[in-house]
């Protein structure tokens, strides 16, 4: 056996749907010496991480902590803990990740009602009112920021509507937390989940979740065991709660990372951070449209941090993304599901939401598109973004 050499990957600028580049301060925090997962110093760091996570989620929920796994585990945590076999559940899907919730809820034995919206569109509150009044579900699950389409679902009134019909609201905040407003208490969200590798500028590996008192009561009232031992909150909350009872060995360095990522968010300030993402989105959008690219999401619901655009006719998806990566060191994402081979997804999330990233990806895209035969004016995209910044 030949022993591989020391790791030395070529530098990349990660402007796809995630992961995004980790902030240098986060990477530095991860080099902090390890502690035991029950060390008093580490337990204090857990407390600090939880408190900052509540601030970023804009909630006072006691049951707020990061699951020791990636964002999909956050999704599964919320659903497997709240759904028992036979429970009526509504899942709203308008893209790839809504469909994933359908799959997980089905595996929980839910009596499923699936509401579908065209990819790139969102749901109207009146539509959902009619469904809730008919189905009377225990849970309604919906994606706040649909990563596959770049669409932002308004959930600001949905929690109140769900509670009118006795339902719990579960929201996917994987691509919104740390980039766009997420106000769990004000919006009456019962369970939410996110990830570490997008708006929080950390590596993949942690899935922040938060359960409201209403959701916590539903968890305690279960008649059957949670189908997942590892994700069973009735056990995990003893570790992340006051008892600090052993449950699993926490990923110490990832908690360091998340703690530093949350510190960065709160140092900047939530409103300033949201405004930064909008400003860079406006510039990127101006540049992309100057190159003739159109968005997959409807104008009223476009995400600032995840810009999904249609690939022009006659342009080879894989060849262009390969050239972006090999020649310019920039990763952008391809389409998923209905948009496979039809869309590119450009993420400017967290640390990567800055003018340098916007101008760099536009300049590279101009060269790649022109080389692929697209009829564009070189320099038009960058110039349009610069005008947007100047304005």
pLDDT string in tens for the chain (391-residue length): 899 999 999 999 999 999 999 999 999 999 999 999 889 999 999 999 999 999 999 999 999 999 999 999 999 999 999 999 999 999 999 999 999 999 999 999 999 999 999 999 999 999 999 999 999 999 999 999 999 999 999 999 999 999 999 999 999 999 999 999 999 999 999 999 999 999 999 999 999 999 999 999 999 999 999 999 999 998 888 888 777 788 888 999 999 999 999 999 999 999 999 999 999 999 999 999 999 999 999 999 999 999 999 999 999 999 999 999 999 999 999 999 999 999 999 999 999 999 999 999 999 999 999 999 999 999 999 999 999 999 9
Q: Which residues contact 93 (CB under 8 A, 6 or more apart)?
A: 99, 101, 102, 114, 115, 116, 117, 143
Complete DSSP assignment for 103-130: HHHHHTT-EEEEEE--TT----HHHHHH
What are the tokens at 357? 């990233």
Structure tokens at 162: 């769900």
Domain with CATH 3.90.1150.10 in the chain: 270-390
pLDDT for 88 equals 98
**Amino acid 242: pLDDT:** 72
What is the pTM assigned to this prediction?
Answer: 0.96
Give the H or E element holding residue 131.
Answer: helix 125-135
Tokens at 170, concatenated: 């579960």
Where, residue-wise, is CATH 3.40.640.10 in the chain?
24-266
The contacts found for 97-100 with CB under 8 angstroms, 24 or more apart, are: 97/143, 97/146, 97/147, 97/148, 97/172, 97/174, 98/142, 98/143, 98/146, 98/172, 99/337, 100/72, 100/75
Name which of 158, 200, 212 is nearest 175 in CA terms: 200
What's residue 240's pLDDT? 83
How many residues in total does the chain contain?
A: 391
pLDDT at 339: 96
Choices 3.30.450.80, 3.40.640.10, 1.10.1030.10, 3.40.50.2300: CATH for 24-266 = 3.40.640.10
Structural domain 270-390, CATH architecture: Alpha-Beta Complex (3.90)
Determine contact, residues 155/143, Cβ cutoff 8 Å.
no
């Amino acid at each position: 056996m030949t022993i591989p050499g020391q790791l030395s990957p070529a530098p990349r600028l990660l402007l796809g749907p995630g992961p995004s580049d980790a902030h240098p301060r986060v990477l530095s925090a991860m080099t902090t010496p390890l502690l035991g997962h029950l060390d008093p110093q580490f337990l204090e760091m857990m407390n600090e991480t939880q408190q900052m996570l509540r601030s970023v989620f804009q909630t006072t929920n006691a049951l707020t902590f990061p699951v020791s796994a990636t964002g999909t585990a956050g999704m599964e945590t919320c659903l497997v803990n709240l759904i028992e076999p036979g429970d009526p559940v509504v899942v709203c899907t308008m893209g790839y990740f809504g469909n994933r919730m359908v799959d997980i809820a089905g595996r929980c034995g839910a009596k499923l009602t699936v509401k579908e919206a065209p990819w790139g569109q969102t749901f109207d509150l009146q539509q959902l009112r009619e469904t809730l009044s008919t189905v009377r579900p225990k849970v309604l699950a919906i994606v706040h920021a649909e990563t596959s389409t770049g669409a932002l679902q308004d959930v600001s009134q949905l929690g109140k509507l769900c509670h009118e019909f006795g339902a719990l609201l579960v929201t996917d905040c994987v691509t919104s937390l740390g980039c766009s407003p997420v106000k769990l208490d004000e919006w009456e969200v019962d369970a939410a989940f996110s990830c570490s590798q997008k708006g929080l500028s950390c590596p993949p590996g942690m899935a922040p979740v938060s359960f409201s008192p209403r959701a916590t009561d539903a968890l305690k009232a279960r008649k059957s065991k949670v189908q997942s031992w590892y994700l069973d909150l009735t056990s995990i909350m003893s570790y992340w709660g006051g008892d600090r009872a052993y449950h699993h060995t926490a990923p110490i360095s990832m908690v360091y990372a998340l703690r530093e990522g949350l510190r960065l968010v709160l140092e900047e300030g939530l409103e300033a951070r949201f405004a930064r993402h909008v400003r860079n989105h406006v510039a990127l959008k101006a540049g992309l449209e100057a190159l003739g690219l159109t968005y997959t999401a409807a104008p009223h619901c476009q995400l600032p941090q995840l810009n999904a655009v249609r690939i022009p006719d006659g342009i080879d998806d894989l060849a262009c993304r390969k050239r972006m990566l090999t020649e310019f060191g920039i990763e952008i994402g391809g389409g998923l599901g209905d948009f496979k081979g039809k869309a590119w997804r450009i993420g400017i999330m967290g640390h990567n939401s800055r003018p340098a990233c916007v101008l760099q990806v536009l300049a590279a895209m101009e060269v790649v598109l022109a080389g692929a035969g697209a009829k564009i004016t070189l320099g038009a995209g960058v110039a349009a973004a610069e005008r947007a910044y100047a304005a």
